[in-house]
Structure 1
Amino acid sequence: MFTKLLLACMTALALTQITQTALAAPPPAVPVLPQGVKTVTAVEGITEYRLGNGLQLLLVPDDSKPTTTVNLTYHVGSRHENYGETGMAHLLEHLIFKGTPTNHNVWAEFNKRGLRANGSTWFDRTNYFASFATNDDNLKWFLSWHADAMVHSFIARKDLDTEMTVVRNEMERSENSPGRILYQKTLASMFHWHNYGKDTIGARTDVENVDIANLQAFYRRHYQPDNATLVVSGKFDNAQVLRWVTQFFGPIPKPKRVLPELYTLDAVQDGERAITLRRVGGTPLLYAGYHIPAASHLDFAAMEVLALVLGDAPSGRLHKRLVEKQLAASVGADAFGLYDPGAALFIAQLAPGQDVAKSSAEFLSVLESVATEPITAEELQRAQTNWLKSWELSFTNPETIGVALSESVAQGDWRLFFLTRDRIKALTLADVQRVATERLLASNRTLATYIPTEQPQRAPAPQQPDIAAQFKGFKPQAAAAAVASFDTSPANIDANTQRFTLASGMKAALLPKPTRGGAVRASLVLHFGDEKSLANQGEVPAMVASMLDEGTAKLTRQQIRDRLDQLQSELSVSPGTGAVALNITARRENLPAVIALVGELLREPSFPVAVLEEQRSQALTAVEQQRKEPEAVVANAIERHGDPYPRGDVRHARSFDELVADLKAVKPEQLRDFHRQFYGASHAEFGASGDIDVATTKRALEAAFGDWKSSVPYARVPKPLMPVSPARLVLPTPDKQNATMAVQLQVPLMDTDPDYPALTIANHILGSGGSSRLWKRIREQEGLSYGVHSSVGWAQQEPNSTWQASAIFAPQNRTKVETAFKEEVARALKDGYTATELDEAKNGLVSARRLSRAQDARLAAGLASNLHLGRDFALSQRVDEAIAAASLEQVNAALRKYLQPDRFVYALGGDFKAP
């Protein structure tokens, strides 16, 4: 729910002070720099440059993946808005994509080039980013667009008018979430003066009444080179990027204006504060907010660790004393890393029927008992290991690091990314205990009522750290070693993939390739049962899957978490119909040990009763939340419409009540019996991509699964195409400010059909991507929806695919949205597409497919899937070629053959008022 997306406003003077210290590593020698560009510093493989106009440039070269990420961050967010300007930074984020005199249709250009692009706004920053398969033309164009948008964006009245409904729709989507609204009100209660108390999306009255001249002035003031940080990461030519950045950004003059210094800080809180929110739907929810130091402060590292010690699951204190004692369904915590003193937020989600007063009392008791129940060495070590593992995993991905650096820049200096890591490593029990005792106080809390006291305890006064001084003694680690490039063409993938079969029957495919940090992604899929044996199992198969990593005959759930942290690895488990999939993230040297651990989890799960009850409670809570949500109600209704399968059939679409009944019916002995009967490796596939030691990995797989055979036959559960009658379902969801429309059609195709490429292109033009017909009409032209799209869920084993479309909107705009949707579908069928649309769609699709093949997680899943389907990546190449060769006649013919509006099933959910 709460993500750390931060960037700080920092003056040129502050940067000069930081970079003049003798503590950073000396910058690497650069043979020739373009005129006006200066090298500032280099830390652990990242080099900072500065243009004469003030633009800060960070280059993060990494050839391990054929992808490039560009991220431009402006040092402006909701913190910089004045009275009546709330939401202005976010409005600009939307309007920047409306184009310039040179680039009119930005989203169409992104789509044509296959860029995975977006923007976001938060308290301290706004950023715009894109990842794409390495391509000099795309990189050059995207850099030129950023420079163009910096000074020439329209920010026009007409664009503001059409986008206003979209922004309102985004607001209404947030209004549907009690948790989101409670979050907004918690921060508003915590910060009486500072803008951190105002949500980034802004006040509705400010957004609806914004003056276009003021918005343009805000743009000209903040969207300037001396207020921006450009990050380029991944595979690129350093010298060429420096030339392009100089070519495009260099001519922009350094502005003469001086940005105002922001100095507002809230006083120390001197008593408990409380808020209450009452709305329809959902289950009780508790937040406890505490004021904490800025992210650049030495004590912030201790708050990061305290959030894990208290809020992690299952090791955290809140989990043990609330979730395990049936006082809450789930808990969580986050320490917001902000430029100014910020907040730590602790969360407890209650299940239906749980006592709010009792849970609240225990919740606060746990949080504020650290003075009498000190943090232990084991808790500190576990939290440090967990945090550092996450840091390491993010640092190994060039696409992630390119955007993640924005957070550190937002906090005051990009090098905080490394300094915070070092501070986490250096934490002592005394540090953490002191900060917990100072900050986790009743008088510093937002939740309970104010109670006068003779000797009030108060947290330390807020202060703005001297960021330059924070780097005294900071010594960067050595930069990561350069990684060789790898050709991700289908032919090269197949040529380098090593396949083998274990004695048990498990098939394996390993793709050894260089990666940053020796990273490996793997996918393991077990198949079991058939149509008859899986009947009447209810929620047992899904619950078995969800509890595989919750304890074994030898390890507790906490020991499993600790072991994964020690191995710097992550594991996720996903159930399916007659299958379970495990996705693994590991490093080369740890992969064999992770495979051994996964083998133990799969073969010896203990299914603890207490954990079963905990997961049952969480699942029931989730169902109760979904009952009132338009998107969930619509999805359930459209899935159940025309469902031909009876209750008990594994293909049956269950109602919310049936799901609740199945959850309540699960018994511990059923889990053990199901596992014993169905689980085995005879019908399993393992795919892995990354820096793999093939010999040791093969031995690890043999040891873990070589003798583990399935005891029952496996046969895929068929799901043939069945007739579904057209319908229009209107589903009331009272007191919800956002509505949803879903449209569905079954298509008699699978992904190997000759018409697959043509229909894929046809759908892309209609509703997939930033230049699609539906997007341009419903979002761009009429501004009715924040999100509208269509897609095809392609079947891989039988001709029964699903075409679907959806849109979210304000309930009062239902008729307009339906009308626009139907008109665009009818226009496409009547007039067909244009040659320009076809060329852009083909280029975008092929580029996106190349980008997908550069992701190790996608490769691992693809290797496993191909083993199951008897395919290889040569099929992917043939599809690329078929897309590139498709003619306009073929695409229009496929659209008209398969898209049949008279067979559509519509479902609309929202708080619709009678006309």
Structure 2
Amino acid sequence: MGFKLPRAWRLLAGVATGLGLWSSLPAWAATPPGVTQTSVVEGITEYQLNNGLRVLLAPDASKPTTTVNMTYLVGARDENYGQTGMAHLLEHMLFKGTSTTRNALGEFSRRGLQANGSTSSDRTNYFASFAADPDTLEWYLGWQADAMVNSLIAREDLDSEMTVVRNEMESGENSPFRVLMQKMQAAAYQWHNYGKSTIGARSDVENVDVAQLRAFYHQYYQPDNAVLIVAGKFDPDATLAAISEAFGKLPRPERKLPARYTEEPVQDGERAVTLRRTGGTPLVAAMYHIPAGASADFAAFDLATQILTDTPSGRLYGAMVPNELAASVFGFTFDQHDPGLVMFGAQLQPGMPQEKSLASLTDTLESLGEHPFTQAELDRARSQWLSAWEQTYSDPEKVGVALSEAIASGDWRLFFLQRDRVRDAKLTEVQRVAEAYLVRSNRTEGRYVPTEGPRRAPALGTPDLAAIFKDYKGDPDFRQAEAFDPTPLNIDNRTQRSTLDLPNGPVKLALLPKATRGERVQAELQLQFGDAESLKGLRLTSSVVGDLLTRGTNKLTRQEIRDRIDGLRATVSLAGGGTTVSASISAPGENLPAVVALLLDVLRNPSFPQPELDEYLRQSVTAVRSAMTEPTALASRALARHGNDWPADDIRYVPTFDESLKELGTVNRKDLVDFHKRFYGAGAISFSAVGDFDSAKVQKALKDGLAGWRQAPGYTRVSDPYREIKAAHQDIDTPDKANAFYIARMPLALRDNDPDFVPLYLANFLLGTSETSRLWNRVREKEGLSYNVRSSLSVSAYEPSASWTVYAIFAPQNRARLETAISEELARVLKEGFSAKEVKEGVAALLNYRRLARAQDDVLASTWVDYLDRGRSFEWSANVDRAISALSVEDVNAALRRHLKPDAFSSVTAGDFTKKDLGGKPAEAQAPAAAPAK
């Protein structure tokens, strides 16, 4: 649950026929009485019920998962004076339940649904993904229909949820960027509600009148103001019938929704915002009004934004980062129903000249007439935009959310039309819209300066969507993909496991070719080398080498590497540290061999350019300094260091933030070159791929790319043995932070082949992982103390070494209550144990979550690399499933009591515990602390 950030910052079985293929739901498909088909675009069909509910069916049998989105066309822009935050608050309240279904999140968890909601200015969206099953789909549709008109919106539920909402509000207030962005929006809009924060004013939220909130719900949560989206694997005819049965009986409301007629006038001069808070690093930013998401000019402006903000090819990057006027730059558009905004900004290192940086930012943006875009810049931006679109379109779980965002902008078909507009955008169009709206008088930044004869941006209006879509049909080349059964047995049977025996060492392979939507593939490459002894003193060096691999080779610059990846419509994520470097790949299957060849060249021939190293070090220092004031980072680092008795030169050592800053000051290019020359090479390599690709061509690319590479030093896994750690508690003061963080951990001598592993796996799920867990129900649902409280169990596959962690975010004034609640729940579960009902429901939910995970291609690819390293297959996963299914309540409680020791937890609490609402005293003085560590 939460409010939506702009698009660029939010950084996812059923009865089928034969092969599981459906066309674009043809017009001859049966429609129940009272249901009318209205439009079809690229396999997505829209229907309308007599009560006004619109329905989109997007069948895709390539993954055995179903995703349902219910989008209500109500958001922050519909709130009147004193009502701010109502749309977001209602998003929370619907999960509290109806008279027949209380605690909806708990019911989702029992059935293995991954579900949540989000609110923006234009819409509220509820979504759920689950392993495809017609019964689960029918149940969830029934809940949505019930929640649409029968949610209680009860006073007691509002009271219990209020602290949770405040906790979410305070969490956002911890971020200087988010606060600055909201205040700039408020300055940019004089009249339109887009200037108001979606989460609302604290006074409005805390004093909300439940009768008024209920009236808001009854006005907007109605079938004629909603769009239901079902995507993934399902039977279209049966699903349409189920929708008709669940929603068709709801009457069409007699009320009329109020007209939205406020238009923001053209801005007539610069506006300024200055924010002063403790912590973080300096930021400069500029906002400009731009056309609505449905406007033909929006797509062109989106491309202009990409040209300006890309790293490292972007105009802002080139003007600011190499000149040490910024550590990094960013920019994104707000794609909204009414005319929206674009925001550009830069993060600075302390000491950088802020006024000069802001001047450089705005001068670069507002001088495009003198320095026009080039065709090469447009082609690069277009390739990046389309690659991102294809990745969304290839995943049915993401398609539903993307359609919801398009609906918020005015019509679901905008998802496809924007793609078409990007494909067809001309350089003259992109140049025109950028020059039109990036003007001084249309800017909101850090100061106000009166100006005579200002140049104004063009007037903005809402597009005529009916005219836009009169004859729109979408891409004629659209096609569906095959169905795939992600059972462990089928995964093992379909996966080609082999070893490439090369002269310089073997390559372990796990290749799973299968048809996918968009013909894409997910792949993983892993190199391993060295051991704990040979890597002494090289902890930071090994990480920096991994981070800088894509910054340039002996033949390619950083930008050329990025352009080749973009040109292949791929994404590549490289990470290295210690004995391992790994890469994750997403690409069209036909391009995978070329991506593999490029990646191996990058791994073999990095050049570590000095300017790139300098930039990386500036960014790293900035990141560390930012973390040094954040409660979550401080508490997590402190707990990681507790009991970490490795010497400072060991790669397992955890440094302090101050030590990290000092170490960054010693990094030099020669050490990086020497490390790469000594350790990187063939010998211990694993590769997996899952999706639509040619196995033979991929293997050839691996052979060719590895041919002649030196052999790396022999690899030995770095152990992480169990160590007894004396329990302790630590407090960290973080002045002026509205949110606090609690984390506690205990070590266990446990390996994942231990008979107690599976019962503890379920015990942790029931204790603090699911939305029916003991900690969730007590801390969030009953007492409303935390937006997020969880427990996690980490167990080694190699040695008896594990840890159990509990964490929560909370308001500082609630510290004593939170610690007491956690302590009491740990004691209660040990005394009473879990009930037979909890265990039975937990087994069913956990198995559903595991089936859902195995339906994700990227999960399969990464799991195969892990299994290759451990000598396992998905038979291991099947064995775990069988062990979970066989668990009894006695098994779970006995294992829990053998291992869970509340007195063995060490904990760290970070926050501002000396605020005025605490009486100017530390929180401990208000009530006795009762953390598990004590």
User: The TM-score by the shorter chain falls in which range?
Assistant: over 0.9
CA offsets 1:289-335 (integer angstroms, 9 cap, x no match): 00001111111111101110111111111111111221111111111
2:305 and 2:811 mapped to 1: Cα distance?
37
In the alignment, which residue of structure 2 is the partner of 1:801? 802
1:680 and 1:53 mapped to 2: Cα distance?
65
In the alignment, which residue of structure 2 is the partner of 1:584? 585
User: Residue 815 of structure 1: CA displacement?
Assistant: 0.2
Residue pair 1:339, 1:410 contacting (<8 A) in 2 also: yes
Greater shift in the superposed pair: 184-193 or 322-331: 322-331
Residue pair 1:6, 1:122 contacting (<8 A) in 2 also: no
The answer to whether residue 616 in structure 2 is matched with residue 618 in structure 1 is: no
2:539 and 2:843 mapped to 1: Cα distance?
43
1:511 and 1:735 mapped to 2: Cα distance?
52
The answer to whether residue 41 in structure 2 is matched with residue 43 in structure 1 is: yes
User: Residue 559 of structure 1: CA displacement?
Assistant: 1.1
Residue pair 1:726, 1:903 contacting (<8 A) in 2 also: yes
Q: Which amino acid aligns with 2:690?
A: S
1:226 and 1:82 mapped to 2: Cα distance?
21
3-state SS of paired residue (1:681): coil
1:443 and 1:669 mapped to 2: Cα distance?
49
In the alignment, which residue of structure 2 is the partner of 1:273? 271
Greater shift in the superposed pair: 150-159 or 429-438: 429-438
1:863 and 1:797 mapped to 2: Cα distance?
16
CA offsets 1:376-428 (integer angstroms, 9 cap, x no match): 11111111111111111110111110111011111111111111111111111
In the alignment, which residue of structure 1 is the partner of 2:19? none
1:899 and 1:26 mapped to 2: Cα distance?
53
In the alignment, which residue of structure 2 is the partner of 1:162? 160
Pairing of 1:546-585 with structure 2 (within 5 A): 546-585=547-586
Q: Which amino acid aligns with 1:626?
A: A
The answer to whether residue 653 in structure 2 is matched with residue 655 in structure 1 is: no
3-state SS of paired residue (1:548): helix
In the alignment, which residue of structure 2 is the partner of 1:4? 7
Q: Which amino acid aligns with 1:499?
A: R
User: Residue 449 of structure 1: CA displacement?
Assistant: 3.2
Q: 1:429 aligns with which of 413, 427, 430?
A: 427
In the alignment, which residue of structure 1 is the partner of 2:869? 868
Pairing of 1:516-535 with structure 2 (within 5 A): 516-535=517-536
> How many residue pairs align between the two structures?
898
1:577 and 1:776 mapped to 2: Cα distance?
40
Greater shift in the superposed pair: 513-522 or 86-95: 513-522
Residue pair 2:790, 2:806 contacting (<8 A) in 1 also: yes
Residue pair 1:6, 1:124 contacting (<8 A) in 2 also: no
The answer to whether residue 298 in structure 2 is matched with residue 300 in structure 1 is: yes
Residue pair 1:634, 1:731 contacting (<8 A) in 2 also: yes
Q: 1:77 aligns with which of 72, 75, 78?
A: 75
In the alignment, which residue of structure 1 is the partner of 2:15? none
In the alignment, which residue of structure 1 is the partner of 2:930? none
TM-score (norm. length: structure 1) = 0.97
Residue pair 1:681, 1:705 contacting (<8 A) in 2 also: yes
In the alignment, which residue of structure 2 is the partner of 1:353? 351
1:473 and 1:760 mapped to 2: Cα distance?
54
Q: Which amino acid aligns with 1:86?
A: T
User: Residue 763 of structure 1: CA displacement?
Assistant: 0.8
User: Residue 474 of structure 1: CA displacement?
Assistant: 4.0
Pairing of 1:77-156 with structure 2 (within 5 A): 77-156=75-154
User: Residue 464 of structure 1: CA displacement?
Assistant: 1.8
1:482 and 1:601 mapped to 2: Cα distance?
35
In the alignment, which residue of structure 1 is the partner of 2:753? 752
Greater shift in the superposed pair: 710-719 or 111-120: 710-719
Residue pair 2:270, 2:450 contacting (<8 A) in 1 also: no
In the alignment, which residue of structure 1 is the partner of 2:204? 206
Q: Which amino acid aligns with 1:114?
A: G
Instruction: Return closer, same or farther for 1:294/1:241 CA change in 2, 3 Å cut-off.
Output: same
User: Residue 754 of structure 1: CA displacement?
Assistant: 1.5
User: Residue 215 of structure 1: CA displacement?
Assistant: 0.3
User: Residue 27 of structure 1: CA displacement?
Assistant: 7.6
3-state SS of paired residue (2:272): coil
Q: Which amino acid aligns with 2:649?
A: G
User: Residue 30 of structure 1: CA displacement?
Assistant: 2.6
User: Residue 448 of structure 1: CA displacement?
Assistant: 4.4
3-state SS of paired residue (2:550): coil
In the alignment, which residue of structure 1 is the partner of 2:833? 832
TM-score (norm. length: structure 2) = 0.95
1:26 and 1:282 mapped to 2: Cα distance?
50
Instruction: Return closer, same or farther for 1:565/1:186 CA change in 2, 3 Å cut-off.
Output: same
The answer to whether residue 513 in structure 2 is matched with residue 512 in structure 1 is: yes
3-state SS of paired residue (1:730): strand
Unaligned runs of 5+ in 2: 11-22, 915-920, 926-934
Residue pair 1:5, 1:406 contacting (<8 A) in 2 also: no
Q: Which amino acid aligns with 1:165?
A: T
In the alignment, which residue of structure 2 is the partner of 1:667? 668
Instruction: Return closer, same or farther for 1:663/1:538 CA change in 2, 3 Å cut-off.
Output: farther
In the alignment, which residue of structure 2 is the partner of 1:729? 730
CA offsets 1:109-158 (integer angstroms, 9 cap, x no match): 11111111110000100000011111111111111100010011110000
2:902 and 2:816 mapped to 1: Cα distance?
17
The answer to whether residue 323 in structure 2 is matched with residue 322 in structure 1 is: no
2:274 and 2:470 mapped to 1: Cα distance?
45
1:123 and 1:612 mapped to 2: Cα distance?
41
Pairing of 1:760-839 with structure 2 (within 5 A): 760-839=761-840
CA offsets 1:743-774 (integer angstroms, 9 cap, x no match): 10111112222111100111111101100000
CA offsets 1:274-294 (integer angstroms, 9 cap, x no match): 111111111100111000011
Residue pair 1:767, 1:789 contacting (<8 A) in 2 also: yes
CA offsets 1:3-60 (integer angstroms, 9 cap, x no match): 32999xxxxxxxxxxxxxxxxx998223421000000010011100000001110000
Pairing of 1:375-390 with structure 2 (within 5 A): 375-390=373-388
Q: 1:66 aligns with which of 47, 64, 67?
A: 64
1:29 and 1:707 mapped to 2: Cα distance?
58
3-state SS of paired residue (1:744): strand
Q: 2:407 aligns with which of 405, 409, 419?
A: 409
1:451 and 1:638 mapped to 2: Cα distance?
49
1:346 and 1:370 mapped to 2: Cα distance?
15
2:227 and 2:885 mapped to 1: Cα distance?
37
Residue pair 1:43, 1:479 contacting (<8 A) in 2 also: no
The answer to whether residue 481 in structure 2 is matched with residue 483 in structure 1 is: yes
CA offsets 1:601-646 (integer angstroms, 9 cap, x no match): 1111111111111111111111011001000000011011121111
Residue pair 1:5, 1:122 contacting (<8 A) in 2 also: no
Residue pair 2:272, 2:444 contacting (<8 A) in 1 also: yes
In the alignment, which residue of structure 2 is the partner of 1:242? 240
Cα RMSD (Å): 1.5
CA offsets 1:779-810 (integer angstroms, 9 cap, x no match): 00000100001011221211111110101110
1:239 and 1:564 mapped to 2: Cα distance?
41
User: Residue 458 of structure 1: CA displacement?
Assistant: 0.2
1:682 and 1:53 mapped to 2: Cα distance?
65
2:418 and 2:471 mapped to 1: Cα distance?
13
Residue pair 2:177, 2:283 contacting (<8 A) in 1 also: yes
Q: Which amino acid aligns with 1:273?
A: R
3-state SS of paired residue (2:830): helix
3-state SS of paired residue (1:686): strand
Residue pair 2:160, 2:782 contacting (<8 A) in 1 also: yes
3-state SS of paired residue (1:907): strand
Residue pair 2:59, 2:236 contacting (<8 A) in 1 also: yes
Residue pair 1:682, 1:708 contacting (<8 A) in 2 also: no
In the alignment, which residue of structure 1 is the partner of 2:311? 313
1:6 and 1:527 mapped to 2: Cα distance?
33
3-state SS of paired residue (2:549): coil
Q: Which amino acid aligns with 2:235?
A: D
Q: Which amino acid aligns with 1:143?
A: L
In the alignment, which residue of structure 2 is the partner of 1:461? 459
Pairing of 1:595-744 with structure 2 (within 5 A): 595-744=596-745
User: Residue 433 of structure 1: CA displacement?
Assistant: 1.3
Residue pair 2:491, 2:874 contacting (<8 A) in 1 also: yes
Q: Which amino acid aligns with 1:106?
A: A
Residue pair 2:688, 2:865 contacting (<8 A) in 1 also: yes
